[in-house]
């Protein structure tokens, strides 16, 4: 009985000290952190449109020479040994390219799966979520060498999607996220994150702006990837050009945790326009 009273006193102190935090969020954070081990912090700072990394792509075939990836709307093109790679198919257009406006490739997870079905290429999503649309939302990319260990960054066109998005992950390159030449179905297995800080501003004139914190858990297998997305937070953004900051007074000392085996993605989602964004966020990553 005495122990129960002490627990109730602690709960009352937390509720008074942290009035902006729902009691269930405190309970979930404490439960998630129980038995886990701090791994490292992960921070992101975005201050310009069209800089978010949608997909990292790498050539993993055995042919030395000119192996490149390029994007010119609406085609994502793959070249091996100086010629179009005929193992890339399935989204209209010609062999060696994926028409991302085609229904079979009009979201990032569909495009990801088409790339990973080829024995010559591997790709992983970074800042976007799988359901984000590809049509008109990829930044033009000239033919870029895909042999490098880090892979090639294919960028998300924030100025067209009206969504600034950053993943709070321990690394952002192919060689870090992969296991040799392959991407594991879930690079975040054994980890989870807890967001501690979020600050955002954007210029959007009319319409609405929303700040989101998402838990994104990859699943499936290479070539047939899936995602489970859980919304941890969705709140109105500031008025156009007005900053909104959420820190420990909102998230609490433990933060808002993602699901296990998941990454945290933070976003500014505008309805009509997005320019001059700033998006700063910090999370702690844990192993379990």
Residues 6+ apart with CB under 8 A from 153: 53, 55, 56, 126
Radius of gyration (C-alpha) of the chain in whole angstroms: 21
pLDDT of residue 30: 62
* Residue 55 scores a pLDDT above 70: yes
List, for residues 20-29, the tens digit of each pLDDT value. Answer: 555 555 555 6
176 by DSSP, 3-state: which? helix
* Residue 32 scores a pLDDT above 70: yes
Number of helices (H), then strands (E), in the chain: 6, 17
* Residue 8 scores a pLDDT above 70: no
159 by DSSP, 3-state: which? helix
pLDDT of residue 141: 98
Rounded mean pLDDT, 206-233: 96
For the purposes of burial, counting CB atoms within 10 Å of the CB of 146, is it exposed (0-12), middle (13-18) or buried (19 or more)? buried
List, for residues 75-120, the tens digit of each pLDDT value. Answer: 999 999 999 999 999 998 789 999 999 999 999 999 999 999 999 9
* Contact criterion met (CB below 8 Å) for 140 and 9: no
Look at residues 139, 123, 118, 4 and name the one whose alpha carbon lies nearest to residue 71.
139
Q: Please give the span between the terminal C-alpha atoms of the chain, in angstroms, as a whole number.
A: 32
Whether this prediction's pTM lies above 0.85 is answered by yes
């Amino acid at each position: 009985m005495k122990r129960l009273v002490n627990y109730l006193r602690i709960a009352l102190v937390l509720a008074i000290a942290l009035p902006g935090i729902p009691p269930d969020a405190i309970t979930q954070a404490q439960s998630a952190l129980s038995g886990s081990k701090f791994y490292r912090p992960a921070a992101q700072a975005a201050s310009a449109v069209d800089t978010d990394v949608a997909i990292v792509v790498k050539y993993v075939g055995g042919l030395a020479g000119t192996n490149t990836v390029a994007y010119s709307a609406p085609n994502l093109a793959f070249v091996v040994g100086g010629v179009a790679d005929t193992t890339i198919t399935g989204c209209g257009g010609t062999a060696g390219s994926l028409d991302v406006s085609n229904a079979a490739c009009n979201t990032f997870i569909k495009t990801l799966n088409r790339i990973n079905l080829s024995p010559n290429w591997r790709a992983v999503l970074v800042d976007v979520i799988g359901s984000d649309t590809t049509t008109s939302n990829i930044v033009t990319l000239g033919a870029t060498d895909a042999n490098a260990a880090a892979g090639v960054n294919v960028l998300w066109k924030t100025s067209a999607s009206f969504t600034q998005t950053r993943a709070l992950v321990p690394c952002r390159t192919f060689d870090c996220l992969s296991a040799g030449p392959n991407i594991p179905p879930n690079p975040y297995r054994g980890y989870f994150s807890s967001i501690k800080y979020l600050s955002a501003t954007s210029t959007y004139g009319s319409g609405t702006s929303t700040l989101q914190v998402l838990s994104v858990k990859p699943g499936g297998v290479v070539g047939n990837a899936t995602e489970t997305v859980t919304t941890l937070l969705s709140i109105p953004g500031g008025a156009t050009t007005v900053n909104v900051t959420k820190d420990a007074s909102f998230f609490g000392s433990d933060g808002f945790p993602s699901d296990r085996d998941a990454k945290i993605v933070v976003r500014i989602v505008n309805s009509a326009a997005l320019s001059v964004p700033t998006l700063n966020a910090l999370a702690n990553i844990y192993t379990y």
